[in-house]
Chains A and B, each alone.
Chain A
Amino acid sequence: AQSVTQLDSQVPVFEEAPVELRCNYSSSVSVYLFWYVQYPNQGLQLLLKYLSGSTLVKGINGFEAEFNKSQTSFHLRKPSVHISDTAEYFCAVSLSDSNYQLIWGAGTKLIIKP
């Protein structure tokens, strides 16, 4: 069965330090990949997406992600985090062989330490 794994449930990092949130998926078919962010007491908001083309994708708020087909990964990175980046981040995969239903990771809480 297809799945999405976010390897870290929580990632603590100091303000202005770089961060990487990891996402791996299991699928042998073509995929679309997404990262969403959920700020406290809010719905989810799209950060960035990969549909095709360049494997390095830039999103909002200075985030970027790289699609690695051989490692089936789509890790999210930011070179310097702000206290305002405190949120939960979700990776999602849309599979061409299951009506493009989104499969979601369990989420990673990004905790910014001052």
Chain B
Amino acid sequence: KAGVTQTPRYLIKTRGQQVTLSCSPISGHRSVSWYQQTPGQGLQFLFEYFSETQRNKGNFPGRFSGRQFSNSRSEMNVSTLELGDSALYLCASSLSGGGYEQYFGPGTRLTVT
């Protein structure tokens, strides 16, 4: 089975721009979660989607949004980028969340200049 894939792997953007990151979960997995990882703040939960609906949400501003498609693929969007948005963005999929383990992709490294 193919693992979780994330595109692109690396991205450089300018302050004020917007960015869209993509995540393809493992086949059959219906839950996709997004995380932001930075050296200072560690691993921070952004949101979780299950069957195209946002099921859980972390404590991030409205500039961070996401969606999930009928094939379980997910995208996250960050509008009006700030320098502090520079981070590794990780996507994780699981069968249905909860007690099922999450399988992580390699991440997208976003640098905002």
Contacts and interface: CB of A to CB of B under 8 A. Distances in A.
B49 interface: no
17 contacts: A34-B101, A36-B104, A43-B92, A43-B104, A43-B105, A43-B106, A44-B102, A44-B104, A46-B101, A49-B101, A99-B55, A99-B97, A100-B97, A101-B48, A102-B33, A104-B45, A107-B43
Contacts of B42: 104, 106-107
Contact of A43 (B48, B55, B107): B107
Chain B: interface secondary structure? strand
Given A43-B106, A46-B102, A100-B99, 16 more contacts: A34-B101, A42-B106, A43-B107, A44-B102, A46-B103, A49-B99, A94-B98, A94-B99, A99-B56, A100-B97, A101-B45, A101-B97, A102-B33, A102-B102, A104-B43, A107-B43
B81 interface: no
B26 interface: no
Interface residues of B, number: 20
A45 interface: yes
Nearest to A104: B43
Interface string B87-99: 0001010000111
